[in-house]
Amino acid sequence: MKIKHFKAICLVLAIIAAIPLLSLVSKKHYEYSFQNPELPIDTRVNDLVSRLTLEEKVGQMLNSAPAIDRLGIPAYNWWNECLHGVARTPFKVTVYPQAIGMAATFDKNSLHTMADYTAEEGRAINNESIKDGKRGIYLGLTYWTPNINIFRDPRWGRGQETYGEDPYLTGAMGKAFVTGLQGNDPKYLKAAACAKHYAIHSGPEPSRHVFNVEVSDYDLWDTYLPAFKNLVVNAKVAGVMCAYNAFQGQPCCGNDLLMTSILRNDWKFTGYVTSDCGAIDDFWERHKTSPDAEAAAADAVLHGTDVECGNRTYKTLISAVKDGKLPESQLDISLRRLFTIRFRLGMFDPPEMVKYAQITTSVLENPEHKAHALKMAQQSIVLLKNENHTLPLSKSLKKIAVIGPNADNVKSVLGNYNGTPSQLITALAGIKAKLGSNTEVVYEQGTDYVGSPDVTPDFSAVAQRVKDADAIIFIGGIAPQLEGEEMKVSKTGFSGGDKTTIALPTAQTDLLKALKNTGKPVVFVMMTGSAIATPWESENLPAIINAWYGGQSAGTAIADVLFGDYNPAGRLPVTFYKSDNDLPKFDDYSMNNRTYRYFKGKPLYGFGFGLSYTTFKYDALTLPVSVNKGKSIAISVKVTNTGKMDGEEVTELYLSHENAKIKVPIRALKGFERTFLKAGESKVIKFDLSPQDLSLIDSQGHINELAGKIKVTAGGRQPDAETEVKKVTVSKVISVI
């Protein structure tokens, strides 16, 4: 024992004696301080920036930043995308439902998990690419996602990329995405998210480079800024992308109020800002707020735009500094922000120190990720109508006809800003796999999306060919080929990526009328990234579901819902209006008569609407009779599955300020929870409302905690006379004193 103790003591003494030597070796190992991972990040960043020449600094402020070989700094491209899975990558990846579909899940936990899985796949791609010496576009770790613009008008083609029309839902889902993507490591980011497009941007697409938005202070703070504030202040998003358009006469990327006063000064944002691609060119080429590229570049940098997505205007920063249009020290501010993100991503540390650098390509499309893609596709589906329990369909039917332009369209399930999976399931494939050989499934497209102006279709012939089917499933709607970002589309009803009408294309309605005349039940499965007006279909067809662009497992999820293997519980994140007559002018950014919060008419299907194959009852809403200003309140409500089928329910919490002296929403979402309930089971759902949740925005954009009465409603959708009677919602009034 004594010998063992003596040896142990000797070993300890030897280690202690070696520590100073190891320290010296460590210090000698690094040529520059920024290479030393033991130093604080800000120390390393300052050291690195201090070593750059003016030309090198400007190069690092382009999205495709070149290598600086003399310092051992590798090239880096800031541009990458992961809207609903890693996008535009040469690798096969997991593709989840389009963002608007993920919003329809009303499930923050699911979205957080999806973002975590996406970051994992993104890390694997980045690790493998670096190993192969590839550092180009769509291979980095700075993802320009999420798009948290408010989907204020259903004609906007890029609305599919958002989380819908509501600031609260958008902020909550956006925060879940950011925290999932960026991870919870105390030192390293798993990946870097970017909130875009800051801050008042939602079409029209053809004029996005030139239009100037004028909105009231009330709309700015009540509608357009809350989600951005939530992601910047609470989610600690790493990046922000400023928008193309101008606001109050200044381009968003060079805007005094948005960029300086609010983002940097009020919200204390310390992350990086990137321009949208080509947005700085717009300063001098389209907005004409700058006389030339040099002035535009200086203006953008002085307003805190740290990196230009582009390779033209920021190159003039070299001459701008030499001409005295901005000091070189201003570039250093931007460079410190940019390199801080790269250091937080572990790009300058030994891979063995960064746990995320160990992730291999074995995680790409792994079983957990694919299962979650299916789960989210199922969760996103919204049951809009189910007359006489038409759905679910029986699996023992002898013959089913599957018709429509989206039945077998692989592009329509992917949305836009998408990756490519190894396998994707269209609706037709999902239905065939569900039914097997016992049921005959016949398919024909029947029509394209909008028909042809030069051909008169014989839809009665299509109906005649499928009249012997036991049920007809029409899978229509629109597609990513028609709506999206600044697209060259000129088909009837579409222009430049936007819709010119929200009506379902006439060709599809005409075909549906012919199919209905067969006397067989017609189920309408709608795929879309935006709200579509379907007045005839809603009046005349027995069953309608909205399936969005559901990702790689869209077809399986659709079949699961159609045949009862999954009980739908998705909710609409946007209002489905009856017609174009319900809409203000597209380019009018005022929120008057827009979205469920201010729309005074009756929608076809309201925000938050969605049916189930079972029924739910709400009661026992518990909250205090009164609350002092500045205090939080706890709310609980009991929800019971009163039907015969297990299922999920989304409980939505709305506030309505009664008799307020200032402008207020008709009602506003302030909480939501998705819960699974077995048949006959009850659960108590709890919410906590902060003083800010109970407050109002005034016409000056100030938060006011006003005394008065607030109607609190909890339930499975927005409240109205019918939902109160059926106990689908329950309400009480609280006094703020």
Q: Catalytic positions, please?
A: 276, 483
In this structure, what are the phi and psi dihedrals at residue 284, rounded to the nearest 5 degrees? -105, -20
Instruction: Please state at what angle helix 41-50 crosses helix 328-344, rounded to 10 degrees.
Output: 140
Q: 5: which DSSP letter? A: H
List, in sequence order, the alpha helices (H) in 458-602: 459-466, 506-516, 535-540, 554-562, 595-598
Residue 42 has which token pair?
């800000």
Q: HEC states along 574-595? A: CCECCCHHHCCCCCCCCCCCCH
Please answer whether residues 99 and 160 qualify as being in contact, where contact means their C-beta atoms are separated by less than 8 angstroms.
Answer: yes
Q: HEC states along 271-301? A: CEEEECCCHHHHHHHCCCCCCCHHHHHHHHH
Query: What is the C-alpha separation between 292 and 313, in angstroms, rounded?
Result: 9
Residue with tokens 């160990």: 358
Residue 578 has which token pair?
């009856």
Query: What is the C-alpha separation between 101 and 160, in angstroms, rounded?
Result: 8
Query: What is the C-alpha separation between 585 and 591, in angstroms, rounded?
Result: 11
Please answer whether residues 301 and 317 qualify as being in contact, where contact means their C-beta atoms are separated by less than 8 angstroms.
Answer: yes
Neighbour-count burial of 721, counting CB atoms closer than 10 A to its CB (0-12 exposed, 13-18 middle, 19+ buried):
exposed
Distance between start and end Cα atoms, the chain: 76
Please answer whether residues 737 and 628 qualify as being in contact, where contact means their C-beta atoms are separated by less than 8 angstroms.
Answer: yes
Write out the E strands in 224-364. Answer: 239-242, 246-247, 250-251, 272-275
Write out the E strands in 485-533. Answer: 494-495, 498-499, 522-527
Nearest CA among 545, 547, 479, 472 for reference residue 513: 472
Residue with tokens 């299916």: 374
| Rg (alpha carbons) of the chain, rounded to whole number | 28
Our CA angle for 23, 29, 30, nearest 5°, is: 110
Residue with tokens 């790009």: 347
